[in-house]
């Protein structure tokens, strides 16, 4: 699986050298038959070849531009690393492949610029967070983004409770058990009253979590990323009381995480963290609704593209599944809508996304149903 950042998306937005080809399709998970995906991909390539030739590109030149894409169906290693969606972007001097955790509607587009709007929802906008998977049998710290997750090596982090407390065996009837090592390396003892086995177990868990928190402290000292706790219900409140890390996520992932694969842990943790990272987009939607109907916002595609060209768009909300055809005159800085057959026409939604990124504005994905009048895009102006 690959990743794409907003910085990369901006670079793609600025590439305008010759005709560009953009291919998108959804793909099956690794392990499922790849033949169907490869056949559909070949059909998209053929569609792109036909579109290039229809625009006056010689057959040989079109084939040369698409050659790297044509070589992919026979590349077993490439298909063995599939995700939910595949994007192929090709232009003179440029060829990129992205296997991303986003199921793209199938499309083949040829135009004067790359069709980058489907990548908007898949772009990594810095949504970085940490996951601490806790159980008495193991503990792991993970670093995650919208698209990926990786385990972090933490010096001094115990493998489990037994290692943390240096206990080879525990007799629940005893009133004394081994404690954490002190600063001089001597092992201390923890004495209990008559609380019994339940109190002993809770005290051991608290000690275990203090060892974990102490091991994490050097790594987290300068961190501000939210930390998502993952584990069974009764453990997580205890760690919340023990830890000194101030940026714990409000919600947590409940359940036995010991048996989850990295992919499963990522999927479940991202579903919990998604609303947290969606807050800036929700605030942008609220701001749009407040300004809708004034001269500081617009739902009109032509007006938005005209404003983008003038550097006036602060925030753009766009539905990547929608298109609005139109023309743009860069000399006059004016855009107009037209039907799909008009000469020199292009998708104004994609144009607005690209130009907003290039002019330093902020772009958020949004479904049409979220926007006033179910518009394909909406903008809040700087002035």
State the residue for tokens 């001269």: 295
Residues 201 and 243 occupy one common structural domain = yes
**Could you say which of 125, 154, 186 is where a domain stops?**
125
The pair of three-digit structure tokens given for residue 206, joined into one six-digit string: 């608290």
CA distance 147 to 8: 15
Angle 252-257-258 from CA coordinates, rounded to 5° = 155
Residues linked to residue 347 through DSSP beta bridges, in sequence order: 325
CATH of the domain at 51: 3.30.960
Residues 36 and 114 occupy one common structural domain = yes
What does each of the 383 residues of the chain score in pLDDT, given as a tens digit?
A: 788 888 999 999 999 888 999 999 999 866 555 678 888 999 999 999 999 999 999 999 999 999 999 999 888 888 887 888 999 999 999 999 999 988 899 999 999 999 999 999 888 888 899 999 999 999 999 999 988 899 999 999 999 999 999 843 444 444 434 343 333 333 333 444 455 566 778 899 999 999 999 999 999 999 999 999 999 999 999 999 999 999 999 999 999 999 999 999 999 999 999 999 999 999 999 999 999 999 999 999 999 999 999 999 999 999 999 999 999 998 888 999 999 888 888 999 999 999 999 999 999 999 999 999 999 999 999 99
Give the three-class secondary structure for 149: strand
Residues linked to residue 193 through DSSP beta bridges, in sequence order: none
**What is the tally of structural domains in the chain?**
3
**Could you say which of 277, 309, 333 is where a domain stops?**
277
Say how many C-beta atoms besides its own lie within 10 A of residue 34's C-beta: 18
Residues 269 and 141 occupy one common structural domain = yes
Give the three-class secondary structure for 130: strand
**Could you say which of 243, 262, 277 is where a domain stops?**
277
DSSP label at residue 337: E
φ and ψ at 179, to 5 degrees?
Answer: -115, -165
pLDDT (tens digit per residue) in 171-223: 444 443 434 333 333 333 344 445 556 677 889 999 999 999 999 999 999 99
Residues 264 and 365 occupy one common structural domain = no
State the residue for tokens 């385990």: 151
The pair of three-digit structure tokens given for residue 58, joined into one six-digit string: 């010689």
CA distance 160 to 208: 8
Residues 111 and 251 occupy one common structural domain = no
Question: Beta-strand (E) ranges in 27-148?
Answer: 85-91, 94-100, 107-111, 129-134, 139-144
The pair of three-digit structure tokens given for residue 221, joined into one six-digit string: 């000292």
CATH of the domain at 176: 3.30.420
Residues 101 and 157 occupy one common structural domain = no
CA distance 83 to 30: 7
Residues 146 and 255 occupy one common structural domain = yes
pLDDT (tens digit per residue) in 306-348: 999 999 999 999 999 999 999 999 888 899 999 988 888 899 9
Residues linked to residue 143 through DSSP beta bridges, in sequence order: 130, 150
Residues 23 and 66 occupy one common structural domain = yes
CATH of the domain at 321: 3.30.1330.30
State the residue for tokens 């972090």: 152
Task: Tell me the whole-structure pTM to 2 decimals.
Answer: 0.81
pLDDT (tens digit per residue) in 141-152: 999 998 889 999
Helix, strand, coil percentages in the chain from 3-state DSSP, rounded to 5? 35, 25, 40
* CA distance readout (Å), 138 to 141, 161, 204, 360: 10, 7, 15, 45
The pair of three-digit structure tokens given for residue 6, joined into one six-digit string: 């907003």
Q: Are 153 and 169 in contact (CB under 8 A)?
A: no
The distance from CA 10 to its chain's CA centroid, rounded to whole angstroms, is 16
Residues 234 and 164 occupy one common structural domain = yes
Domain extent, residue 283, equals: 279-383
């Amino acid at each position: 699986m690959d990743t794409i950042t907003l910085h990369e998306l901006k670079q793609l937005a600025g590439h305008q050298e010759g005709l560009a080809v953009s291919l998108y399709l959804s793909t099956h998970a690794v392990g499922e038959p790849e033949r169907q995906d490869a056949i559909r991909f070949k059909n998209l390539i053929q569609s792109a070849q036909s579109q290039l030739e229809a625009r006056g590109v010689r057959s040989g030149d079109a084939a040369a531009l698409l050659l790297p894409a044509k070589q992919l169906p026979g590349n077993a290693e490439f298909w063995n690393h599939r995700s939910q969606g595949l994007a192929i972007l090709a232009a003179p001097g440029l060829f990129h492949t992205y296997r991303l955790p986003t199921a793209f509607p199938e499309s083949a587009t040829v135009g004067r610029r790359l069709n980058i709007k489907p990548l908007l929802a898949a772009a990594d906008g810095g949504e970085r967070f940490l996951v601490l998977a806790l159980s008495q049998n193991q503990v792991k710290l993970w670093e995650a983004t919208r698209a990926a997750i990786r385990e972090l090596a933490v010096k001094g982090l115990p493998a489990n409770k037994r290692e943390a407390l240096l206990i080879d065996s525990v007799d629940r009837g005893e009133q004394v058990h081994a404690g954490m090592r002190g600063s001089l390396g001597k092992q201390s003892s923890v004495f209990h009253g008559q609380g019994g086995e339940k109190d002993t177990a809770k005290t051991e868990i608290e000690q275990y979590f203090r060892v974990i928190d102490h091991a994490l402290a050097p790594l987290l000292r300068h961190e501000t990323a939210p930390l998502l706790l993952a584990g069974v219900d009764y453990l997580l409140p205890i760690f919340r009381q023990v830890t000194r890390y101030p940026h714990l996520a409000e919600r947590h992932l409940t359940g036995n995480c010991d048996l989850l694969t990295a992919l499963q842990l990522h999927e479940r943790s991202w579903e919990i963290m998604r609303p947290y990272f969606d807050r800036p987009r929700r605030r942008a939607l609220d701001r749009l609704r407040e300004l809708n109907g004034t001269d500081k916002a617009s739902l009109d595609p032509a007006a938005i593209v005209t404003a983008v060209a003038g550097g006036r768009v602060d925030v753009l909300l766009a539905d990547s599944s929608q298109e609005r055809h139109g023309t743009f005159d860069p000399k006059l800085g004016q855009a107009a809508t037209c039907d799909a057959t008009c000469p020199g026409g292009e998708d104004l939604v994609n144009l607005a996304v690209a130009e907003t990124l290039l002019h330093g504005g902020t772009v958020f994905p949004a479904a049409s149903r979220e926007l006033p009048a179910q518009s394909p895009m909406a903008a809040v102006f700087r002035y």
